Amino acid sequence: MANIVAIVGRPNVGKSTLFNRLIESREAIMDNESGVTRDRHYGFAEWTGRGFTVIDTGGYVHGSEDVFEGAIRNQVMQALKEASVIIFMADCIDGLTDLDKDFAKVVRTVNKPVVMVANKADSTEKMQNAVEFYALGFGEIFTVSSATGSGTGELLDELVKHFTSESDENTESTLPKIAIMGRPNVGKSSFVNMLLGEERSIVTDIAGTTRDPINSRYNMYGKDFILIDTAGVRKKAKVKEDIEFYSVIRAIRSLQNSDVCVLMLDAQNGLESQDISLINLAVKYRKGIVLMVNKWDLIEKDQNTADKYKKEIEERLGTLNYIPIVFTSVLTKQRVHKAIETAINVYEYRSKKVPTSQLNDVLLKDIERFGPPAHRGKHIKIKYITQLPTRTPTFGFFCNFPKHIKNPYARYLENRIRENFGFSGVPIKLVFKEK
């Protein structure tokens, strides 16, 4: 059984701060506002050579004004079921509350080892206040300050005593990562939930429901990879709240850390300027790209609708028209697996290596038929082509006057590479060097 630690408790006791402390990364958004964390958030931690998974959860509460209250409770219950050890977190400043007492009854029902943690114990007086948490009946109280790290060593020593396996490995770090991105309310979380067959992310009609990036392991066609559900990205001018700002920052970071970006569009709105900005960002970071046009079931169609729609998008993309486009409806499950299949193909193209002999056999013939324009009477001759040993597709062209190769001819060469060797959805870099 895997070593899984779930951090649970009422709202605003510092669960996300402890989560970030344990995984040694600022993955979860932290804010003084209650209810910031909504979905289950996973990370990997290690202590004394023992690896384990940590789950951050939203605050468990009844009778609040939060419209996400019920969905957050469901996410917490799922985390309790998955966990092998539970950190029940409370707050030394507020002391023992009725919410703590009510939630303790819920925690007892899962019959798992529980480690009681009193957070915000950054003074002797506050540490002394923690004794009242013995009333919950979970045994020894571990006083910590998540913000400073005080007491976390003793807490981790206690946690590893409950682990049933020697050590977990962070296998997810080497798996391909597919980031699901787009504007708010295009259906990103619904898409991920449909693929996984569970409510991994909370779904509502309210824009901005997802805040932290949600990583989920997924298997399809015998391939393991990570799906990353991200927060909706709007124009900077429309981002007013700090929490949304940090959500967008983390969404962009997810793009940077991914291999392929599936950019979801709302079929009713088409390709908007913010979508093009995200595409340009993905190209800048040299990520694979798939355009997924969702809510296709809401469009009135005839036999030519898809072709016309696709042509309009390709015209707006201009030189980026190598990006594959898939028309889907998550609601009706129309072609959703086609979108992921396309993303996997793009990932494979991104790591594809073309043998040097094939490149020269094919491209030198094309170059001979249509060579680069002469520059000031100087005839430019490309003599040799090879794919360079880089992480993303980069091709070196060796010639006599590399500085005089113009952009239009470089695009011609890129198109010839794509027509002969694929690379759908993948930015290609051409480098011209003197032989």
Lowest-confidence region among 173-187, 254-268, 353-367: 173-187
pLDDT at 211: 43
CA distance 225 to 284: 23
Percent of the chain residues past pLDDT 70, beyond the cut: 83
Share of the chain above pLDDT 90, in %: 37
Contacts of 187 (CB under 8 A, 6+ apart): 264, 266, 294, 295, 330, 331
Look-up of token digits 């980069």: 394
Least confident of 98-107, 115-124, 227-236, 339-348: 227-236
Which neighbouring-strand residues pair with 150? 145
pLDDT tens readout for residues 413-429: 999 999 999 999 999 99
180 forms beta bridges with 229, 262
User: Can you give the pTM of this predicted structure?
Assistant: 0.67
pLDDT digit string, tens, across residues 28-59: 444 444 444 545 777 888 888 888 888 888 77
Instruction: Note the pLDDT of residue 171.
Output: 55
4 vs 361, residue with greater confidence: 361
Residue with tokens 């011209």, as numbered in its chain: 432
Q: Where are the domains of the chain?
A: 4-161, 175-350, 356-434
Q: Within 10 A of 300 (CB to CB), how many other CB atoms are there?
A: 5
Reported as type and span, the H/E element at residue 429 is strand 429-434
Asked whether residue 156 carries a pLDDT value surpassing 60, the answer given is yes
Q: What is the pLDDT of residue 167?
A: 62
Cα gap 51→370, rounded to integer Å: 58
User: What's the angle, vertex CA 278, arms to CA 342 and CA 276, rounded to 5?
Assistant: 90
Instruction: Tell me the one-letter amino acid at 265.
Output: L
Residue pair 252/79 in contact by the 8 Å Cβ criterion: no
Average pLDDT over residues 398-410: 90
- The confidence score (pLDDT) of residue 229 equals 78
Spatial contact of 435 and 400, defined as CB atoms under 8 Å apart: yes
- Residue 128 is classified by DSSP as H
Residue 159 has pLDDT above 50, yes or no: yes
Mean pLDDT of 240-244: 46
221 vs 22, residue with greater confidence: 22
Buried b (16+ CB within 10 A) or exposed e, 113-131: bbbbbbbbbbeeebbebbe
pLDDT value for 34: 42
**Cα 86 to Cα 161: distance, rounded to the nearest angstrom:** 13
Higher local confidence (pLDDT), 320 or 66: 320
Q: How confident is the model at residue 367 (pLDDT cuts 50, 70, 90)?
A: very high
Mean pLDDT value across residues 58-77: 67
Residue 202 confidence (pLDDT): 45
What is the average pLDDT score of the chain?
A: 83
| pLDDT for the residue 66 | 52
pLDDT of 169 reads 58
At 16, list the tokens: 């996300």
Q: Quick one: CATH architecture of 4-161?
A: 3-Layer(aba) Sandwich (3.40)
In this structure, what token pair is assigned to residue 341? Answer: 């299949």
Architecture of domain 175-350: 3-Layer(aba) Sandwich (3.40)
| Average pLDDT rounded to a whole number, residues 388-411 | 92
CA distance 425 to 415: 13
Question: How far, in Å, CA of 19 to CA of 8, rounded?
Answer: 11
Same CATH topology for 4-161 and 356-434: the answer is no
Q: Which two tokens stand for residue 214?
A: 């949600």
Sign of CA dihedral 335, 308, 271, 176: positive
As assigned by CATH, the class of the 356-434 domain is: alpha beta
Structure confidence at residue 69 (pLDDT):
61
Confidence of residue 207 (pLDDT cuts 50, 70, 90): very low
Helices (H) and strands (E) in the chain, counts: 12, 15
267-321: per-residue pLDDT in tens?
A: 999 998 888 988 998 999 999 999 999 999 999 888 888 999 999 999 999 999 9
